[in-house]
Amino acid sequence: MGSIVAALPAEFWTVRYDGSRFPGSAAVTALPGLAAGANCQLFAYEVLRHFGLAPPDLRSSELWSDTESTVHVPVARPLDLVLFNSTARAFGAHVGVHVGDDAVLHLCAEVRHPAVWGPAEFAVRDRYRVRLGAKRVRPFDGAAS
């Protein structure tokens, strides 16, 4: 966990939660990046981009069903996306980044800034009590589609 968390620049730790700033939103189109805030998906995708991955800009249910850019994995490893929700549905699921040691880096409305939680911290909150699973971003091969 330490290497991913320690390798994030300071500006990642000051991002504030803003639910209106999600992938594809007008707010993000007008002002890209994290400086104006982010929702969980936007934050997680920017973390992955910092480490050289190319996640698709999808909402959680689209991400969960995606097979072109991501793949479901039975066991998360560092830099995999992990989804949580109050039910087993992907619609409206919370997205975080697995950072090792069963810990997930995420940005949520409750805390308002980035946090690293373990399974117990998610499980005690109704809105995150169901861990849907993990998705791994496929490596970018550089080929035109």
pLDDT 10s digit of each residue in the chain, 145 long?
Answer: 568 999 999 999 999 999 999 998 898 888 888 999 999 999 999 999 999 999 999 999 999 999 999 999 999 999 999 999 999 999 999 999 999 999 999 999 999 999 999 999 999 999 999 999 999 999 865 544 3
User: SS3 for 25?
Assistant: coil
- From the list 145, 108, 68, the residue with the least C-alpha distance to 58 is 68
Q: Where are the domains of the chain?
A: 2-137
Rounded CA-CA distance 135/129 in Å is: 18
Residue range 2-137 forms a domain whose CATH class is alpha beta
Q: Report which DSSP code applies to 128.
A: G
Q: Residue 4 in contact with residue 78, Cβ under 8 Å?
A: yes
Q: How many CA atoms lie within 13 A of 115 on its CB side?
A: 13
